[in-house]
């Protein structure tokens, strides 16, 4: 069996480590927001305003642009050298910057309608609506900075330099935390400070990545936008990916629309989303970032066996981390939510609602993570149309569930729709891979280990549920520490005992020249 490249796991550990740092700071940020603003109108207005540039950021940057740009850039780098790949990057930078600047100006004018499109329930409450529009106009230019930062991240990742791109989100969270701290200390408007901190954080992220690229010897300058064969190919591949990204954002829009008609629901879904995004970012996003340039190189080299092996090992490693996280979040969502957020303006009722949403989101976590592993197999082959078709189907599923069940189960229909849509999308991606020549068939090692990983996670979940009862003795924080430490130890011991994880594999993968 062809061994996966050593840099795959090393790259994942680099990205995952920085992602963990960013998520921890993100928790600190959200804890401060919960304590200072709770789930009230100012918090909800900020969440909607911040979601607007992030929604289009995934449309322009991580979704459409990067999925089309990285394979094209990586193949030029491998086949034609740095001069040709950097020239292509300059062409892409010029086109992307032009589109983003025009779009941002138009968004400033259309902001009231954009807020209503995302949260029409705010229209009946002028206070929330006016705040969301004001915050949105301040936050929206963030899309320019973060989308250009995504381009430089893609360039650095293609060169095997993952650290700076993974560390950039840490800057945003530091700026947001600092902004809230200064505003609170001086008695200023915390919501307004948050909006301006988003703007400043975008500038900081882009500046850091441009500086890192220059220090790495990567010279990407500004040039006049031109319609070249390279940009034509980028648009040809990027447009279906953009539409797919748009479909995914429609899912988010539907969920926010449903939640906006229930007081506090936008905030509850936001806080629940932040918790389950930790394992998703640490595992799924990190592996996807590292896997895409790796599969692009193997596709160019015609190494089908190596590509299949890399996908199998990525799945194995991801599930070894994701399944225990899923079980734990389903078992003790209330304890996690209470320790992280229940203080200040965040009440026990907020905790109960957020915990319910968190348990639902957790059920979709394996699907969310696995999508990040399967999608690069399409993008590495320059197929962006198939993911679009599958995303449209998942959008329909999400809309039917979220809107159709809202009169029955209320705002929780938004979370349930998101989860079911994720599983449908993953099933379609998996079934369609054979048509593009991607071999996603699980090998014998993956099949043998997946059931062992699942069994170890279930044993851990049962014991964690028992450990959570220590809350009456040690308090919520003490019980959570016991759950985390005890759960990790139990899962590790059972996983090793069943053969789900073997230390020799990790040592071999991390050792130079080792075989995994």
More confident residue, 104 or 345: 104
Three-state SS letters, 177-226: HHHHHHHHHHCCCHHHHHHHHHHHHHHHHHHHHHHHHHHCCCCCCCCCCC
Tell me: pLDDT of 105 over 90: yes
Residue 81's CB: how many other CB atoms inside 10 A? 10
* Predicted local confidence at residue 133, as pLDDT: 92
Question: pLDDT band for position 134 (50/70/90)?
Answer: very high
Average pLDDT over residues 308-328: 85
Average pLDDT over residues 309-338: 87
* Predicted local confidence at residue 513, as pLDDT: 38
Tell me: pLDDT of 132 over 60: yes
More confident residue, 247 or 87: 87
* Predicted local confidence at residue 458, as pLDDT: 94
Average pLDDT over residues 223-239: 71
* Predicted local confidence at residue 516, as pLDDT: 34
Tell me: pLDDT of 412 over 90: yes
More confident residue, 246 or 342: 342
Average pLDDT over residues 33-40: 81
By the 10 Å C-beta count (0-12 exposed, 13-18 middle, 19+ buried), 451 is classed as exposed
Tens of pLDDT, residues 148-171? 888 888 788 777 676 777 778 888
* Predicted local confidence at residue 158, as pLDDT: 74
Tell me: pLDDT of 117 over 60: yes
Tell me: pLDDT of 277 over 90: no
Residue 335's CB: how many other CB atoms inside 10 A? 24
CA angle 93, 158, 378 (to 5 degrees): 90
* Predicted local confidence at residue 5, as pLDDT: 43
Average pLDDT over residues 77-84: 69
Percent of the chain, pLDDT > 70?
A: 81
Tell me: pLDDT of 466 over 80: yes
Which has the closest alpha carbon to 192: 71, 435, 200?
200
* Predicted local confidence at residue 78, as pLDDT: 66
More confident residue, 134 or 225: 134
Query: Which ranges constitute the DSSP H helices of 80-162?
Result: 82-118, 126-139, 142-158
Percent of the chain, pLDDT > 90?
A: 23
Tell me: pLDDT of 252 over 50: yes
Tens of pLDDT, residues 173-184? 899 999 998 999
Question: pLDDT band for position 430 (50/70/90)?
Answer: confident
* Predicted local confidence at residue 287, as pLDDT: 67
Average pLDDT over residues 271-280: 81
Give pTM, 2 decimals. Answer: 0.68
Report, in angstroms and rounded to the nearest whole number, the Rg of the chain calculated over CA atoms. Answer: 22
* Predicted local confidence at residue 300, as pLDDT: 64
* Predicted local confidence at residue 510, as pLDDT: 47
Average pLDDT over residues 329-358: 90
Average pLDDT over residues 366-379: 83
Tell me: pLDDT of 15 over 60: yes
* Predicted local confidence at residue 401, as pLDDT: 93
CA atoms 176, 178, 180, 183: torsion sign: negative
Query: Which ranges constitute the DSSP H helices of 433-470?
Result: 444-467
Question: pLDDT band for position 289 (50/70/90)?
Answer: low
Pairs from 440-445 (Cβ < 8 Å, separation ≥ 24) = 440/308, 440/311, 440/374, 440/377, 441/308, 442/312, 442/315, 443/1, 443/308, 443/309, 443/312, 445/312, 445/316
Mean pLDDT for the chain? 80
Helix (H, G, I), strand (E, B) or coil at 270: helix
Highest mean pLDDT: which range of 20-24, 468-472, 484-488: 484-488
Highest mean pLDDT: which range of 188-192, 307-311, 376-380: 188-192
Tens of pLDDT, residues 472-514? 767 788 888 888 889 889 998 998 888 887 776 655 554 443 3
Tell me: pLDDT of 6 over 50: no
Tell me: pLDDT of 339 over 60: yes
Tell me: pLDDT of 280 over 70: yes
| Tally of residues, the chain | 516
Average pLDDT over residues 62-70: 63
Question: pLDDT band for position 81 (50/70/90)?
Answer: low
What is the C-alpha to C-alpha distance for residues 151 and 516, in angstroms, rounded to an integer?
Answer: 32
Helix (H, G, I), strand (E, B) or coil at 7: helix
């Amino acid at each position: 069996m062809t061994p996966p490249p050593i840099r795959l796991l090393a790259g994942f550990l680099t990205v995952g480590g920085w992602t963990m740092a960013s998520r921890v700071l993100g928790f600190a940020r959200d804890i401060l927001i919960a304590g200072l603003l709770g789930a009230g109108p100012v918090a909800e207005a900020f969440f909607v305003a911040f979601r607007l540039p992030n929604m289009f950021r995934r449309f322009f940057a991580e979704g459409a642009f990067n999925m089309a740009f990285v394979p094209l850039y990586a193949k030029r780098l491998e086949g034609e050298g740095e001069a040709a790949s950097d020239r292509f990057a300059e062409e892409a930078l010029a086109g992307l910057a032009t589109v983003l600047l025009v779009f941002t100006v138009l968004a400033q004018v259309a902001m009231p309608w954009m807020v209503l499109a995302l949260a029409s329930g705010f229209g009946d409450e002028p206070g929330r609506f006016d705040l969301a529009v004001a915050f949105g106009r301040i936050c929206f230019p963030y899309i320019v900075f973060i989308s250009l930062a995504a381009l430089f991240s893609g360039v650095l990742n293609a060169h095997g330099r993952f650290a700076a791109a993974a560390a950039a989100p840490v800057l945003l969270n530091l700026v947001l935390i600092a902004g809230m701290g200064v505003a609170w200390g001086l008695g200023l408007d915390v919501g307004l400070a948050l909006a301006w901190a988003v703007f400043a954080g975008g500038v900081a992220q882009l500046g850091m990545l441009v500086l890192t690229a220059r220090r790495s010897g990567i010279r990407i300058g500004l040039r006049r936008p031109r319609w070249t064969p390279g940009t034509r190919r980028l648009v040809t591949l990027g447009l279906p990916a953009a539409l797919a990204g748009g479909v995914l954002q429609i899912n988010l829009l539907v969920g926010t629309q449903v939640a906006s008609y229930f007081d506090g629901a936008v905030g509850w879904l936001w806080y629940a989303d932040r918790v389950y995004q930790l394992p998703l970012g640490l595992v799924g996003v990190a592996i996807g970032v590292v896997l895409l340039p790796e599969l692009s190189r193997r596709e160019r080299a015609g190494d089908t066996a190596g590509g299949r092996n890399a996908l199998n090992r990525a799945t194995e490693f991801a599930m070894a981390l994701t399944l225990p996280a899923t079980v734990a979040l389903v078992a003790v969502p209330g304890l996690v939510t209470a320790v992280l957020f229940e203080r200040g303006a965040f009440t026990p009722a907020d905790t109960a609602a957020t915990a319910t949403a968190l348990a639902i989101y957790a059920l979709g976590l394996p699907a969310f993570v696995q999508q990040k592993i399967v999608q690069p197999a399409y993008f590495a082959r320059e197929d962006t149309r198939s993911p679009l078709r599958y995303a449209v189907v998942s959008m329909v599923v999400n809309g039917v569930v979220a809107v159709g069940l809202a009169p029955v189960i209320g705002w929780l229909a938004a979370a349930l729709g998101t989860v079911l849509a994720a599983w449908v999308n993953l099933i379609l991606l998996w079934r369609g891979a054979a048509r593009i020549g991607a071999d996603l068939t699980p090998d014998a090692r993956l099949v043998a280990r997946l059931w062992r990983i699942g069994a170890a996670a279930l044993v851990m979940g049962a014991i964690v549920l028992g450990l959570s009862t220590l809350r009456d003795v040690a308090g919520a924080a003490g019980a959570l520490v016991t759950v985390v430490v005890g759960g990790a130890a139990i899962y590790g011991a059972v996983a090793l005992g069943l053969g789900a994880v073997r230390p020799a594999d990790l040592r071999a993968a991390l050792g130079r020249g080792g075989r995994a």
